[in-house]
Structure 1
Amino acid sequence: MREALEFAVVWTLVKLLGALPRPVARRAGAAVGAAAWRILPRLRRVGIRNLELAFPQMPAAEREQVLRRLYRNLGWLLAEFCRMPRYTRENTSGFLCCEGLDHYLSARDRGKGVLIVTGHLGAWELSSFYHSLMGYPMSMVIRRLDNPRVDALVNSIRCRHGNRVLHKDDFARGLLAAMRQGETVGILMDTNMTPPQGVFVPFFDHMACTASGLARVALKTGAAVLPGFMLWEESGQKYVLRFGPEIPLVSTGDSESDIVENTARFTSAIEQAIRTYPDQWLWVHRRWKTRPEGEKPVY
Structure 2
Amino acid sequence: MLYLTGHIGAWELSSFAHALYGFPLHYMARPIENRRIDVLVNGYRRLSGNQPIFKNESARVTLKVLKEGGTIGILADQNTMPSEAVFVDFFGKAASSTTGIARLALHTDAAVVPGYAVWDEQLGKYRLRFEPPVELIRTGDAESDILENTRKFAKVLEDIIRKYPDQWVWVHGRWNTRPSGEPPVYDFS
TM-score interval, smaller chain = over 0.9
CA-to-aligned-CA distance 1:232-253 (integer Å, 9 cap, x gap):
1122211011011010001111
Query: One-letter code of the match for 1:220?
Result: H
Distance 1:150 1:284 in 2: 18
Matched, 1:185 2:45: no
**Once the 2 structures are TM-superposed, how far is the Cα of residue 170 of structure 1 from its aligned partner?**
2.3
Which of 123, 147, 150 does residue 263 from structure 1 map onto?
150
Provide TM-score, normalisation by structure 2. Answer: 0.95
Partner of 1:230, secondary structure, is strand
Partner of 1:196, secondary structure, is helix
Distance 1:245 1:197 in 2: 26
CA-to-aligned-CA distance 1:103-127 (integer Å, 9 cap, x gap):
xxxxxxxxxxx00100111101101
Unaligned runs of 5+ in 2: none
**Once the 2 structures are TM-superposed, how far is the Cα of residue 160 of structure 1 from its aligned partner?**
1.2
**Once the 2 structures are TM-superposed, how far is the Cα of residue 282 of structure 1 from its aligned partner?**
2.2
Residue aligning to 2:27: 140
Matched, 1:221 2:108: yes
Partner of 2:115, secondary structure, is strand
Distance 1:205 1:270 in 2: 13
Partner of 2:82, secondary structure, is coil
**Once the 2 structures are TM-superposed, how far is the Cα of residue 273 of structure 1 from its aligned partner?**
0.8
Partner of 2:106, secondary structure, is helix
Partner of 2:83, secondary structure, is coil
Same amino acid, percent of matched pairs = 52
Query: One-letter code of the match for 2:15?
Result: S
Distance 1:164 1:170 in 2: 13
Distance 1:269 1:206 in 2: 15
Provide TM-score, normalisation by structure 1. Answer: 0.61
Distance 2:154 2:60 in 1: 23
Distance 2:156 2:55 in 1: 22
Residue aligning to 1:295: 182
Matched, 1:174 2:61: yes
Distance 1:286 1:147 in 2: 20
Aligned residues: 186
Summarize the alignment of residues 43-58 of structure 1 with structure 2, pairs less than 5 Å apart.
none
Distance 1:220 1:269 in 2: 21
Unaligned runs of 5+ in 1: 1-113
Considering fraction of residues, name the structure with more strand: 2
Query: One-letter code of the match for 1:117?
Result: L
- Say whether the 8 Å CA contact 1:121–1:229 is kept in structure 2: yes
Query: One-letter code of the match for 1:188?
Result: L
Partner of 1:201, secondary structure, is strand
- Structure number with greater CO (CA < 8 Å, separation at least 6) is 2
- Say whether the 8 Å CA contact 1:172–1:213 is kept in structure 2: no
Give the RMSD, CA atoms, in angstroms: 1.0
Which of 96, 106, 115 does residue 209 from structure 1 map onto?
96
Distance 1:289 1:160 in 2: 33
Distance 2:170 2:34 in 1: 24
Considering only CA atoms, is the larger Rg found in Structure 1 or Structure 2? 1
CA-to-aligned-CA distance 1:200-224 (integer Å, 9 cap, x gap):
1111121100011111011001101
Summarize the alignment of residues 86-97 of structure 1 with structure 2, pairs less than 5 Å apart.
none
- Say whether the 8 Å CA contact 1:132–1:162 is kept in structure 2: yes
- Say whether the 8 Å CA contact 2:28–2:72 is kept in structure 1: yes
**Once the 2 structures are TM-superposed, how far is the Cα of residue 229 of structure 1 from its aligned partner?**
0.3
Query: One-letter code of the match for 1:218?
Result: A
Distance 1:168 1:275 in 2: 29
Considering fraction of residues, name the structure with more helix: 1
